[in-house]
Amino acid sequence: MPTKAHSVAVAAPHQAAVDAAAEAVAAGGSPADAAVAAAAVLAVVYPHQCSLGGDLIALARPAGTGEVHAVLSAGAAPRNIDVAALRAASDRMPPGGPLSVTVPGAVAGLREISRRWGQLAWADLLRSAIRLARDGAPVSAGMARAIRSRAEVLDRDPGLAALVRPGGRSLSEGERFVQPALARTLERVAEDPDGFYRGALAADVAAGLAALGSPVDADDLAAHEAEVTRPLTAERAGSRWFVAPPPSQGALFLAALTGAPDGTPAALVRSARAAELARDAHLGDPRGGPIDVDALLAGRSEPGAAHPVPVAAGDTVAVTAVGTDGTAVSLIMSVYQSFGAGIMDPATGLIFHNRGSAFRLEAGHPGVVGPGVRPPHTLCPVIGQADGIVVALGCQGGRAQPWILAQVADGTVTSDDLTGLVGRPRWVIGSRELGRQRPTLMAEPGAPEAAAEAARELGLDVAAWPGPDDDAGHVQVARVRGGILDAASDPRADGRAVVA
């Protein structure tokens, strides 16, 4: 329930993560502590969607100045990547496997958030995660679905198969699974987070990657640092919205939102489609060359240009936390596709992401693969503010995150029913990542018919899911409005929201 007490509103897609956040707040922790503790637990109990072997992008708004900061801890391609061999093999990056792995940025990102804005000791924030990895946690409904849908991929990797498909049998919802190797890795990270990138643990991570066939090595790990930078921002209807800059696709949220000034479903579909085309034309890493941010923000792409896209659908977790003083964190962590690259190192218990699959192979494209370059990134945390209101917003949803969030953004400022808001039917636009051969608007039952009509006018296919669907996103929102805290967790996931 909303409250005026000095506390923190938190939302996350798994109950154990919210419990860890509440424990951090009870110990005197800040919203940043709550978010980090929750994210660490999710890396244990939601391994199909996030891992210490994945990436992290976040926004943080500390009290006082109210200045919003973007934390980009997205890992780069290895310095020894063989681009010529990749091009000789296919016109697209591998969708999974060792060549799709980039440097994991999650640990550095969590540590940076804790160091800058946390109040509790780093090791204390990992206690719940260590315990759940060591003693076991029940398989959630979402994890059980992911295991069944990815069974063929999981069975190709001995580490993952042993973890979630023992004897060729998928773990069932409620069944307890333990991860002793991951528990030991978490203990080492708790003792020395920098050791994940430069130390004995880094050597073990690099050895595990080499054994799995990845070119990511110790030097690549040592080169990684979380980047803290200024966000992109735009104003609409009296509210100001903040997102992470490239290589995040955050600009596309702003493009979708501001491109639909009347907020109608039809206008939002049109602006989302324009933003999608702009992303496929312009999104990449500024470290690899100039990025046309203005074109991304405007939803502008070359007329008639064809831009083949990656096949990976996104699996991601969002954690949102807001305090009564307006401190806010929106944190997103991910392995990209369900169970990432489909490979796990048995020695460390790390599941590695397949973020490299989002690179492009065509020379001259802003998202082209290259040594030390970060891939175009789907992670899209959002912070919004208006008079007396601060909102932390994020979701699972892969490439569709910008328009998933744009469908609820206005309501997170104005609605008195956040739970009803995040649970209402939604639509997304996509193609191969949704299992469709052509650009398609996929809608849940009850989604506005005007959205489907606008999609048809744009030449998109229109299809419907039979019910609420994971691909429509798992939205998490936390808010302070007039000193009152509130939060909501998407019913499509396994989480909850609390004011702790």
**Block residue for tokens 């996350």:** 12
Determine the Cα–Cα distance for residues 86 and 94; give it in Å rounded to an integer.
8
CB 42 within 8 A of CB 80: no
Active site residue 419: no
What phi and psi, each to the nearest 5 degrees, are found at residue 159? -65, -50
Determine the Cα–Cα distance for residues 185 and 33; give it in Å rounded to an integer.
20
With b for 16 or more beta-carbon neighbours within 10 A and e for fewer, the 172-201 pattern comes to eeeeebebebbbbbbebbbeebebbbebeb
CA 210 from centre of chain: 26
- Give the tokens for residue 389: 């209101």
| H or E segment to which residue 208 belongs | helix 200-212
Which one of 102, 185, 258, 316 is the catalytic residue? 316
Determine the Cα–Cα distance for residues 352 and 440; give it in Å rounded to an integer.
30
Beta-bridged to residue 138, according to DSSP, are: 176
Residue closest to 475 by CA, chosen among 494, 496, 489, 495: 489
- Which residues are CB-contacts of 153 (< 8 A; sequence separation ≥ 6)? 96, 339, 342
- 244 DSSP assignment: P
Q: Supply the residues annotated as catalytic.
A: 316
